[in-house]
Amino acid sequence: MNKKQIAGTVLILAGVAMLFASNYISTQVGEGRQKIDSAQRSVDRGNSIFSLNPVTQQVGRGLTGSAQRQINAGREEVGYYDQMAGRLQFGGIACIIAGGLLFVLGRKKRD
């Protein structure tokens, strides 16, 4: 193997590792979204209980406000990691293609 083939192999392996990382992050993001949705349903349920009149609405918002802020922060974090997973997936595919081309085109011609 020459240097180009070795570099191609390394790129292919890096691309595969990036795809595995992307898959892992996507799985974790899915689980996080499920937890956030569950928490949002609980907060919505709590708000509906306290929505009988304007006074109880304010009390309900006071009780669920902290949870809602945490849910909103969680949504932002999930969005960040979702973007990261997409970029890793794109980068992994690009590395595999580049590595494959480098491996194939880097072969020495034997006459």
Instruction: Please give the structure tokens belonging to residue 41.
Output: 């349903």
Take residue 47 and report the two structure tokens written for it. 């708000």
Nearest residue to 14 (alpha-carbon basis) of 98, 84, 108, 101: 98
Nearest to 85 by CA among 42, 30, 43: 30
Who has greater pLDDT, 52 or 10?
10
Judge contact between 11 and 98, C-beta under 8 A.
Answer: yes
pLDDT at 21: 97
Q: The whole model's pTM is what?
A: 0.80
Res 41: pLDDT: 93
* Burial environment of residue 11 by CB neighbours within 10 A (0 to 12, 13 to 18, 19 or more): buried
Task: Note the pLDDT tens digit of each residue in 41-91.
Answer: 988 888 887 777 777 777 777 778 888 899 999 999 999 999 999 999 999
Q: Rounded to whole angstroms, how far apart are CA atoms 31 and 88?
A: 19
